[in-house]
Amino acid sequence: MKVIFLITFFFVSTVHAKVLVSVQHEVSAPVLKDIAKNIVEAKERPSDEMAMMAIYPIFDGNGKRSPFTLKCPPFHPNGHGEGCTLFVPVVNSVGVGSGTVKIEKKISERPLKLAMAKIEKLMSSEDPNAVEEWDHKQIGDPFSSSSNAGSHISCTSEGIRPDKKWRCLVSVSETLK
């Protein structure tokens, strides 16, 4: 049983000219679960145990380290400051230099929980043509500098019920200054 996610990040630069950069990553369900688990565990720790930023490696279902890294800030009791930053290594496709760049995307526990709940619902469905779609008005830290950040998730069955294979397309967009 395997769930594959395609996470697409769209960034628009307004420094000199508008540049659209599209990067796709395949993320398996175990990786997403590991991200969610680390965020939940970070929130459950007493604030005095997290005086500094905590860094979590992410592992896949086989126990191998993924290219993603999660950083979580101290969580305030009243909820302020929630939101972990997911560091995604990507190939520089802008044409400026080469190698790897880091894209920082703030995420929170709620969107991950919603995604996993929807996917689990799909996997238990008996309809081979089932489709689930949902939108997040905003994904990430409530104090995000971007007012138009958003995401859309669409999951469809690949029609192989015995293996319960599902494909989910996760689109996240944000305009950066």
Q: What is the pTM of this model?
A: 0.45
pLDDT tens-digit readout, 135-145: 544 333 333 34
Which domain covers residue 22, as residue numbers? 3-176
* Among 70-79, 96-105, 123-132, the least confident range: 96-105
What is the structure's pLDDT at 161?
41
* Exposed e or buried b per residue across 2-39, where buried means at least 16 C-beta atoms within 10 angstroms of its C-beta: ebebebbbebeeeeeeeeebebebebbbbbbbbbbebb
HSE-up of 29 (CA within 13 Å, CB side)? 17
In total, how many domains does the chain have? 1
What is the structure's pLDDT at 69?
74
pLDDT tens-digit readout, 4-52: 444 443 333 333 333 333 334 445 556 666 776 776 676 666 655 544 5
